[in-house]
Structure 1
Amino acid sequence: MPRVVSIYLPDLAIERIRRTDGAGELSAERPLVVVAKSGSKRWIAAADRKAREAGIHVNMPAAKAQAIMQGLQMVEADARADAAALERLTLWALTQYSPIVAVDPPDGIVMDTEGADHLQGGEDLMLSGIINRFHARGLTARVAIADSWGGAHALARVSKRVTVVVPRGETPRFVERLPVASLRLPPEIVAGLRTLGFQTIGELSATPRAPLTLRFGPEIGRRLDQLYGRMPEPIEPIRSMDIIEVSRAFAEPIGAPETIAKYVSRLVVKLCEALEKKGLGVRRTDLIVHKVDNTMQAIRTGTAKPAGDVAWLTKLFKDRIEKIEPGFGIEKLALVAVMSEPLAETQRVSSLIEEEVVDIAPLIDVIGNRGQRIYRITPVASDVPERSVQRVSAVAAETGMSWTLHWPRPVRLLTRPELIEVIALLPDHPPVSITWRGKRRRVKRADGPERIFGEWWTRDAEFDAVRDYFVVEDDSGERFWIFRSGDGVDTATGSHKWYLHGIFA
């Protein structure tokens, strides 16, 4: 059963215009709308949050919107620019999340993530990660995952939640109360259904199909079948001009594992030859399996660094061929180099001696393709503990930086400091006792304070910020790293609340 993710970008046009306003002609304080036109008719195609709060909505006449709000910023719609921005985002999603990703115009992205979500830590983490990464780009997004394209598309656009995860097999229960307009039907059919009294998808699906088909044609039945998964709706993956792809079509469908492995090996050879001509090595490769029942399955492999070795890439795919479900047969195999980078040439330092080169990249590739995320911690020039480390690729080059600390640091730093209750004499005395997660601990030994100042050059709010850190040991010998927010005297330096930030071995 496929698992389809629909990403809805409701404010794509507005946010694209804001991002491309390099000259600063648009005011961030004034509401902004996008105006579409056809002949002499002009209407609102998109509106930002401030405009919507003032009562302006999509499809409102532009003259009426101007009458409602003075000083309204109006920008002409550019469908080509919006489509190009959506295509760029879709190509980026192709490299990050799934081998099967396509544009869902005019404001969405659709992808089949069956078998790919484990690389992101599961469906819940994958969807929250999508939201966070789009928000980091300054884009508003809502995401839903269901068993069908139609179900995910409808839930992403109708639900008020940022993420919606529909358990396997429960799509009918989630969509039965959605409006008929979410079925991706033409506007005239939706208007006709509403005239007849149909409001929800559940009401429509419970009605005999023959009278509806006689009046409206087969489109309603097709969309319902796609929504409930009774009819496949293949997603044609997007491809950029510079992506290298090799394929093999079969006159007779294949299905035996050894036959699939044989042709995958031949495709790997052809792909490596094409990459070699361009001096590239592959970082992320997708095997797309086209089946005779008009469905697709995809297998993605990745490498820690650019690779062009036929034997190694063949092994990575052969280890996962058992996951292919040929069904009634496979009519085409395609191998796509989704991410490729220049292949660095290595030169031996000396030909007089045999040098043992230890390369852990193959081990990282094997573990990574099993769904485990491998990374390395590297120092960052910052006194603030949570900013002094960052995750980098396991095979990334050394940055040349190191931690220069005069005070001990815990082996485990909490994701975020946890509030604790403390009995201590201000301003500089260590705590007498701490209460963390409901357990009171008497402090036997303590060392500190170590004062850490805020980084005022990164955030104005940290100009006066101060933390005083203590290393404390309780009766049982456990040692903790705690701090007080503020200097203990001036409330402008912090709230004077206490937090536990790390645990020593």
Structure 2
Amino acid sequence: MARVISVYLPTWPTDRLRRTGGDAAPPADAPLVVAAREKNRHVLVAADAAARAAGLGVGMVLTKAKILVPDLHVEYADPQADVESLERLALWALQRVSPFVAVDAPDGLIIDSTGADHLHGGEAALLDTLLGRLIMSGISARAAIADTRGAAHALARFSANPSFVAPEGHGTEVLLPLPLEALRLPTNLSQDLRKLGFATVGDVLSQPRAPLVLRFGPELGRRIAQALGERGEPIEPLRPADLIEVRRSFAEPIGAAETISRYISKLVVSLCTELELRGLGARRLDLLCHCVDNRIEAVRVGTATPARDIRRLTRLLCDKIETIAPGFGIEVMSLTATIAEPMGERQSSSLLIEEAEPDISDLIDTLSNRVGERAIYRFAPVASDVPERSVARVAALSPDLGEGWPGHWPRPSRLLPRPEPIETIALLPDHPPVSITWRGVRRRVRRADGPERVFGEWWRADAELVAVRDYFRIEDDAGERFWVYRAGDGENPETGSHKWFMHGIFG
């Protein structure tokens, strides 16, 4: 079943101005509006969160807004710049989310995410990641995912807070409580409907459609059909001019897996030739299959490092053939290097001089395309004395920065996801526990070593200015070894609660 994401950017003009303005942009807490000329006056066409909090809104006359907020920052509308920036944002989403991304001017994006959610950990995780990156970039955003473009557009603007995931096959239930404007109707049409007592989408859907269309015109019927999925609304994916793409058209539609595999191999050869001419390697490939019934089946694969190895790229794409539903056949196949990075020629090392380093990038690529990029990673050290902050997840083949964990004190092979409280009997301030009770099991301590004092990182939070932890390595009667700590120095209450926690297990 098709799934569509609608991303709504409610304050895109002001967000764009702040992003492009750099240091010259108004402070985040300063009200900022965008005005445009309407007949013989200027009205607000966009207002940021600070301006809305001050009582300003879209449609307000500019002179009135300046009276209400004397220190108001005013910029004048530049629709062309807004659209161009929106296209750049769509290109960013094209590279990271799905091969089907289109601009939904003037304030959003449309993304066909069919089959792409598992690479991001599910639909909810996909939306959270997408919105998180936008918000961290200073862009206000809401997003929804639904079965149709019309439903996703409506839910993103009237239900998402900040995200909304409609269940597959949701039908009309999720649309019924939404206002009439959710159907993307012209303003005069929605006003006419409201005069007759229609307030929500449910009010419209509860009436016979033919009389409504006869009275209000075909636009109402078209929008209803699009929202319900009765009428197709194809997404024209964004394709930049400098995108490296090869295509193959067929006189007769193809559909057999063997035939698709054969032409994938031919497309990969052509694409790798073009990549080599430009000195690039592919990091992400999109295979688009244009079917006879006006559908587009997409396959996306990625690589851990820039690659143009024909055999490897062909295998990665052919592994996904079973996800392609050709239907009545495929008329056109296109292969695109959505992300390409510089790739120099490598000189093979001589086995007589040195041993060649093992190359596991092929294995990483295979696993990543099966279970998702986020599921394949490695741990890297971080400069922090606080144990849970001293490690980070990085890409499986990211370069080694040469840093390491402290070696003067042994560390457990496994840290718990978060420290768990334990009950102890211990002599304060510096003695290890005599016994502990963890997860309902009491353990007598036979051997212990410590304390190792870890201080808080005062530059992160004021509360950590005097906070300390005292860590102990302990061993119980059964020979199991644990890493426990006491919050505080055992004497001064401001240094911690003096409670005990289990933090790790030695292998």
TM-score normalised per structure 1: 0.91
Q: Does 1:470 align with 2:472?
A: yes
The Cα shift of 1:245 comes to 0.9
Q: Secondary structure at the match of 1:298?
A: strand
Pick the aligned partner of 1:398 from 397, 400, 403: 400
Per the alignment, residue 266 of structure 2 pairs with 266
The Cα shift of 1:474 comes to 5.3
CA distance in 1, matches of 2:136, 2:149: 26
Shifted more, 221-230 versus 38-47: the winner is 38-47
Per the alignment, residue 329 of structure 1 pairs with 329
Structure-to-structure mapping, 1:291-440, within 5 angstroms:
291-350=291-350, 358-372=358-372, 373-418=375-420, 426-431=428-433, 439=440
The Cα shift of 1:468 comes to 2.6
Per the alignment, residue 175 of structure 1 pairs with 175
Q: Which amino acid aligns with 1:43?
A: V
Q: Which amino acid aligns with 1:27?
A: P
The Cα shift of 1:275 comes to 0.7
Q: Which amino acid aligns with 1:216?
A: F
Per the alignment, residue 504 of structure 1 pairs with 506
The Cα shift of 1:120 comes to 0.9
Per the alignment, residue 252 of structure 2 pairs with 252
Q: Which amino acid aligns with 2:55?
A: G
Shifted more, 471-480 versus 311-320: the winner is 471-480
Q: Does 1:184 align with 2:153?
A: no
The Cα shift of 1:342 comes to 1.5
Q: Secondary structure at the match of 1:190?
A: helix
Q: Which amino acid aligns with 2:392?
A: Q
Q: Which amino acid aligns with 2:71?
A: G
Q: 1:127 and 1:27, CA in 2 relative to 1: closer, same or farther beyond 3 A?
A: closer
Shifted more, 21-30 versus 212-221: the winner is 21-30
Deviation readout 1:270-303 (Å, 9 max, x if unpaired)? 1111111101111110001112222212101111
Per the alignment, residue 196 of structure 1 pairs with 196
CA distance in 1, matches of 2:174, 2:46: 28
- Any conservation in 2 of the 1:151–1:171 contact (CA below 8 Å)? no
Per the alignment, residue 88 of structure 1 pairs with 88
Q: Secondary structure at the match of 2:348?
A: coil
Q: Does 1:158 align with 2:161?
A: no
CA distance in 1, matches of 2:36, 2:490: 59
Q: Does 1:234 align with 2:234?
A: yes
CA distance in 1, matches of 2:302, 2:25: 43
Shifted more, 478-487 versus 250-259: the winner is 478-487
The Cα shift of 1:390 comes to 2.1
The Cα shift of 1:154 comes to 1.0
Q: Secondary structure at the match of 1:23?
A: helix
CA distance in 1, matches of 2:248, 2:210: 42
CA distance in 1, matches of 2:418, 2:18: 33
CA distance in 2, matches of 1:158, 1:281: 42
Gaps spanning 5+ residues in structure 2: where? Answer: none
Gaps spanning 5+ residues in structure 1: where? Answer: none
- Any conservation in 2 of the 1:443–1:472 contact (CA below 8 Å)? no
CA distance in 2, matches of 1:40, 1:493: 66
The Cα shift of 1:334 comes to 1.0
- Any conservation in 1 of the 2:143–2:160 contact (CA below 8 Å)? no
The Cα shift of 1:424 comes to 5.1
CA distance in 1, matches of 2:351, 2:441: 65
The Cα shift of 1:235 comes to 1.3
Q: 1:497 and 1:140, CA in 2 relative to 1: closer, same or farther beyond 3 A?
A: farther
The Cα shift of 1:341 comes to 1.2
CA distance in 1, matches of 2:365, 2:477: 45
CA distance in 2, matches of 1:343, 1:80: 35
The Cα shift of 1:326 comes to 1.0
Per the alignment, residue 146 of structure 1 pairs with 146
Shifted more, 261-270 versus 77-86: the winner is 77-86
- Any conservation in 1 of the 2:287–2:298 contact (CA below 8 Å)? yes
Q: Secondary structure at the match of 2:174?
A: helix
CA distance in 2, matches of 1:77, 1:441: 69
Shifted more, 440-449 versus 95-104: the winner is 440-449
Q: 1:8 and 1:481, CA in 2 relative to 1: closer, same or farther beyond 3 A?
A: farther
Q: Does 1:27 align with 2:27?
A: yes
Deviation readout 1:342-382 (Å, 9 max, x if unpaired)? 22322134375796553211111111111242112122222
CA distance in 2, matches of 1:300, 1:81: 31
Q: Which amino acid aligns with 1:401?
A: E
CA distance in 2, matches of 1:25, 1:127: 29
Pick the aligned partner of 2:454 from 438, 448, 452: 452
Q: 1:473 and 1:31, CA in 2 relative to 1: closer, same or farther beyond 3 A?
A: farther
The Cα shift of 1:143 comes to 1.9
CA distance in 2, matches of 1:132, 1:443: 46
* Percent pairwise identity: 56
Q: 1:357 and 1:442, CA in 2 relative to 1: closer, same or farther beyond 3 A?
A: closer
Q: 1:346 and 1:422, CA in 2 relative to 1: closer, same or farther beyond 3 A?
A: same
Q: Which amino acid aligns with 1:246?
A: V
The Cα shift of 1:118 comes to 0.9
CA distance in 1, matches of 2:195, 2:203: 14
The Cα shift of 1:158 comes to 0.6
CA distance in 2, matches of 1:85, 1:483: 51
Q: 1:381 and 1:206, CA in 2 relative to 1: closer, same or farther beyond 3 A?
A: same
Shifted more, 328-337 versus 408-417: the winner is 408-417
- Any conservation in 2 of the 1:292–1:330 contact (CA below 8 Å)? yes
Deviation readout 1:234-287 (Å, 9 max, x if unpaired)? 111112232201112234332222222222222111111111110111111000
The Cα shift of 1:426 comes to 4.6
Q: Which runs of 4+ in 1 moved over 6 A?
A: none
Q: Which amino acid aligns with 1:396?
A: S
Per the alignment, residue 59 of structure 1 pairs with 59
Q: Which amino acid aligns with 1:138?
A: G
CA distance in 2, matches of 1:60, 1:497: 57
Q: Secondary structure at the match of 1:203?
A: helix
- Any conservation in 2 of the 1:442–1:475 contact (CA below 8 Å)? yes
